[in-house]
Amino acid sequence: MSSDVCTTQEAAEILGISVTSVQQLVETGVIEAWKTKGGHRRIPIAAVYAYKNLPGASGQAAAPSPRSKLTAVLVIEDNKMQRDIYEKKLSSWGLPIALTFCENGYQALVEIASHKPDVLLADIVMEGIDGYEVIKTIQTYPGLADMDIAILSSLTGAEIEKRGGIPNGVVFFEKPINYDELRGYLRACCAHKARQFA
């Protein structure tokens, strides 16, 4: 096999995600690929590493921008009604946050690659790349280690355990969300961010 391309399996190993997730990244055009006459998918290794090359991965921090004093909060939620509620609630708290919403894990990874958020609020059960995959991907990058991550899910405790439990350093909010607790969590995240400018 040419050293310029790899298989779906090899791409999955490089990225540390499942084969299914790689297939879906290819199908949505996030990573380019083609198929041989025999129907076997080939992915340019450069495309895999371009996707893997997230900001901060080299250890160099991005230059601060005027907007960066706001705590960038990325919410991954596939349910429109729940997104609308989050937007209403979080916007009403008077916190120094910049809110971004993604409808699925793919969009979230692309957003994280281009605009590294300070806080990630992630649903778990979503079609395609689920919240666990997104969090697992984030946790493989040292440059993203300081991101505050919380899971917001209606999965039961037993279901969470079946999936491997809550990842280290991740906070879990069970739905229906206690918004007083979520507000307190975000206030702490904002204080954490503010210390960077102290």
Which residues of the chain form contacts with other proteins (CB under 8 A)?
78-82, 84-85, 88-89, 92, 125, 127, 154-155, 159, 175-176
CA distance 83 to 100: 10
Strand blocks (E) in the chain: 5-6, 34-35, 41-44, 71-76, 97-102, 119-122, 148-153, 171-174
Closest approach, Cβ 175 to other proteins, in A, equals 6
CA distance 143 to 57: 5
Q: Closest CB to other proteins among 5 and 124?
A: 124
Closest approach, Cβ 89 to other proteins, in A, equals 7
Q: Closest CB to other proteins among 123 and 148?
A: 123
Q: Closest CB to other proteins among 81 and 198?
A: 81
What is the enclosing helix (H) or strand (E) of 129?
none
CA distance 137 to 5: 22
- Note whether 73 and 182 are within 8 A (CB): no
Q: Closest CB to other proteins among 27 and 84?
A: 84
Closest approach, Cβ 145 to other proteins, in A, equals 30
Q: Closest CB to other proteins among 111 and 123?
A: 123
Closest approach, Cβ 81 to other proteins, in A, equals 5
Closest approach, Cβ 161 to other proteins, in A, equals 13
**Cβ neighbours, 10 Å, residue 64:** 10
Closest approach, Cβ 79 to other proteins, in A, equals 6
Residue 87 makes CB contacts below 8 A (sequence gap 6+) with 99, 101
Q: Closest CB to other proteins among 77 and 118?
A: 77
What is the enclosing helix (H) or strand (E) of 126?
none
